[in-house]
């Protein structure tokens, strides 16, 4: 059973969201990294750019396939995890920690209401 | 996998499931793509020992008076002068020189008079190859498809001999590359070949079905303390791509001749075999397009089918194999492009999904084993 921390929010597309005041940090879940296999390349957006909820914000590549990560909320990209340029495997080994992807300054905090809590996400992956 | 009921299964299928291998459809077979991690399995093969189930491949026993002469009319490589147990790599071609399959043909280790040969072919092409070869053999020569009765195990890596030596008394140290012996492995005779598809030292074993399961298990047990890991098709692909070994359907096909693929070394141009006329012509003028290896600067991979262009955007060809190369820490592969542009040292552009990257054409192999 994959790891699903209780203090995070989740999307149906297997992203996690950590709320920190007006900002959120996002990444992909343990379930997602396990499904994808070894991540070999991460394409991060530019800091300062805007992103709309539901649009692809990060591209992940594994040995066999490519996967898009979608922005769970709209806002401005205020930070990206540049460690992933040389160490994309952090997404696999520490998906909730050092494998974080981007930090977004939210344009509309009410968008958080549409996200799942840990229990709902656990059920989501169990039924997948 | 939802439709794994309709896919063919090797005799080791249950073992793969028990190990929670991720299974994929490869040419109609349910095969393990990875057990733990493609990168891990690739690295274990380069540094220690990896074990591959390749039982989906095809094997034919070819027997009869005139077998060697008959096969020489069908296979691109001359089989003259082979010692018992010795193998040669070559191609089955159509009359246009198009590749029907690539194959390794052994003079059987037990053969005394050039009447017994063992042909190994690819998984997806086994049935077509059988029909093709059978139709060309004279009445005195028979082809028996033994694929369904055979477990094939590849054990590859610098330490590959050690677990095998624990269950086999033969002098494996002196077995030369592309030579095979019939010898007892775990008490029952198998064909043991010094060969492989990874660029590493190692062996390919051909065993009966029940016995093959026991041999696999014994190799796992004897190998684990030495770092042996089972490895799937994902690692098999990254390993062979790094040493620029062609894969049928990618670098070889009905539309990609062995000359286009740069495999002239495996064509006996002065022999009469099906396709030789077309291949001679093509080799004399030079093929219009050639397969060449390439490297990318970064980690993002070009994939088979990605379009290759020159710097002004004119199409030159297509990527045939492409992946992140774990032993190089960067992406690379092989491409089929216009021959004038296919020069080592040249750069070309590759259109990835979202951006265009520059690729450097290089000599093979992409990965060179470090000298001791």
Chain A closest-CA separation from residue B243 CA (Å): 17
pLDDT digits (tens, 9 = 90+) for B104-153: 999 999 999 999 999 999 999 999 999 999 999 999 999 999 999 999 99
pLDDT at B1: 45
Does B313 contact chain A (CB < 8 Å)?
no
Which of B38, B296, B330 to mutate to probe the A interface, most A CBs <10 Å? B38
pLDDT at B118: 98
Does B198 contact chain A (CB < 8 Å)?
no
Q: Which residue of B has its CA nearest to A35?
A: B22
Chain A closest-CA separation from residue B331 CA (Å): 9
Put simply, the answer to whether A61 touches B238 (Cβ < 8 Å) is: no
Peptide bond into B365 cis (omega under 30): yes
Q: Which residues of B touch A40 (CB under 8 A)?
A: 39, 299, 301, 324, 331
pLDDT at B371: 77
Q: Which residue of B has its CA nearest to A59?
A: B354
Q: In what order do the strands lie in the sheet with B8-9?
A: B8-9, B29-34, B22-26
Which of B245, B201, B224, B237 has the alpha carbon at shortest distance from B326?
Answer: B237
Residue A85: burial class (beta carbons within 10 Å; 0-12, 13-18, 19+): middle
Beta bridge partners, B192, equal B181, B205
Greatest CA separation for chain A: 37
Cα separation values, A104 from A17, A49, A75, B118, B299, Å: 10, 10, 6, 62, 26
Can you tell me the distance from the alpha carbon of B79 to that of B214, in angstroms, rounded to the nearest whole number?
34
Q: Which residues of B touch A64 (CB under 8 A)?
A: 33, 38, 234
Q: Which residue of A has its CA nearest to B41?
A: A38
Beta bridge partners, B34, equal B22
Chain A closest-CA separation from residue B238 CA (Å): 9
ipTM of the complex: 0.91
DSSP string spanning B273-332?
-TTHHHHHHHHHH--SEEEEEEEESSSPPP-TT-EEE-TTS-EEEEEEEEEEETTTTEEE
In tens digits, chain B (372 residues) has pLDDT values of 445 568 999 999 999 999 999 999 999 999 999 999 999 999 999 999 999 999 999 999 999 999 999 999 999 999 999 999 999 999 999 999 999 999 999 999 999 999 999 999 999 999 999 999 999 999 999 999 999 999 999 999 999 999 999 999 999 999 999 999 999 999 999 999 999 999 999 999 999 999 999 999 999 999 999 999 999 999 999 999 999 999 999 999 999 999 999 999 999 999 999 999 999 999 999 999 999 999 999 999 999 999 999 999 999 999 999 999 999 999 999 999 999 999 999 999 999 998 999 999 999 999 998 876
pLDDT digits (tens, 9 = 90+) for A59-97: 999 999 899 999 999 999 999 999 999 999 999 999 999
Among B39, B300, B354, select the one facing A63 at the smallest CB separation.
B39
Rg of chain B on CA atoms, in Å: 21
Q: Which residues of A touch B (CB under 8 A)?
A: 37-38, 40-41, 43, 59, 61, 63-64, 66, 88-89, 92
Cα separation values, A126 from A2, A10, A122, A123, B134, Å: 10, 14, 6, 5, 51
pLDDT at A1: 66
pTM to 2 decimals? Answer: 0.95
Among B234, B298, B354, select the one facing A63 at the smallest CB separation.
B234
CB pairs under 8 A between A and B: 40
Q: How crowded is residue B177: how many other Cβ atoms within 10 Å of its Cβ?
A: 10
| CB contact set of A96 (below 8 Å; sequence gap of 6+) | A3, A5, A8, A16, A27, A29, A30
Helix (H) or strand (E) holding B212: helix B209-223
Give the tokens for residue B67: 């077998």
Among B300, B324, B354, select the one facing A63 at the smallest CB separation.
B324
Cα separation values, A97 from A23, A101, B37, Å: 16, 10, 20
């Amino acid at each position: 059973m994959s790891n699903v921390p209780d203090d995070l929010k989740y999307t149906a597309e297997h992203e996690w969201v950590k709320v920190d005041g007006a900002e959120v940090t996002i990444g992909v879940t343990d379930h997602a990294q396990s499904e994808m296999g070894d991540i070999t390349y991460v394409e991060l957006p530019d800091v300062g750019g805007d992103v709309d909820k539901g649009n692809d914000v990060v591209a992940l590549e594994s040995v066999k396939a490519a996967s898009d990560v979608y922005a769970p909320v709209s806002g401005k990209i205020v930070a990206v995890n540049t460690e992933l340029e040389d160490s994309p495997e952090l997404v696999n080994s520490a998906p909730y920690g050092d494998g974080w992807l981007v930090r977004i300054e939210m344009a509309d905090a009410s968008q958080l209401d549409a996200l799942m809590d840990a229990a709902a996400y656990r059920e989501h992956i169990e039924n997948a | 996998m939802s439709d794994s009921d309709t896919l063919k299964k090797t005799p080791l299928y249950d073992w793969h499931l028990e190990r929670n291998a991720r299974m994929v459809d490869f040419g109609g077979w349910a095969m393990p793509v990875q057990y733990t991690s493609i990168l891990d399995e690739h690295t274990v093969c380069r540094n220690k020992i990896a074990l591959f189930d390749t039982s989906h491949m095809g094997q034919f026993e070819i027997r009869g008076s005139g077998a060697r002469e008959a096969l020489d009319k069908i296979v691109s490589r001359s089989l003259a002068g082979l010692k018992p147990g010795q193998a040669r790599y070559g191609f089955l071609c159509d009359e246009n020189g198009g590749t029907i399959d690539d194959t390794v043909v052994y003079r059987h280790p037990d053969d005394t008079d050039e009447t017994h040969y063992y042909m190994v072919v690819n998984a997806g092409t086994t049935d077509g190859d059988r029909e093709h070869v059978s139709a060309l053999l004279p009445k005195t020569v028979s082809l028996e498809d033994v694929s369904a009765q055979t477990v094939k195990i590849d054990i590859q890596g610098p330490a590959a001999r050690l677990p095998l030596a624990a269950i086999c008394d033969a002098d494996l140290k002196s077995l030369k590359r592309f030579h095979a012996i019939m010898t007892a492995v775990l008490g029952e005779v198998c064909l043991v070949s010094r060969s492989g598809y990874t660029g590493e030292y190692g062996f390919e074993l051909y065993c009966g079905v029940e016995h093959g399961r026991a041999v696999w298990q014994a190799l796992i047990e004897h190998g684990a303390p030495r770092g042996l890991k089972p490895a799937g098709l994902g690692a098999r692909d990254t390993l062979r791509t790094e040493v620029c070994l062609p894969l049928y359907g990618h670098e070889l096909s009905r539309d990609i001749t062995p000359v286009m693929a740069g495999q002239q070394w495996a064509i006996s141009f002065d022999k009469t075999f099906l396709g030789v006329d077309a291949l001679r012509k093509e080799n004399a003028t030079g093929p219009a397009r050639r397969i060449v290896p390439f490297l990318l600067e970064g980690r993002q991979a070009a994939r088979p089918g990605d379009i290759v262009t020159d710097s002004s955007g004119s199409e030159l060809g297509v990527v045939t194999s492409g992946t992140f190369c774990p032993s190089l820490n960067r992406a690379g592969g092989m491409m089929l492009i216009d021959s004038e542009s296919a020069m080592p040292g040249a750069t070309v552009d590759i259109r990835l999904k979202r951006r265009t990257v520059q690729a450097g054409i290089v000599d093979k192999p992409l990965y060179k084993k470090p000298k001791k």
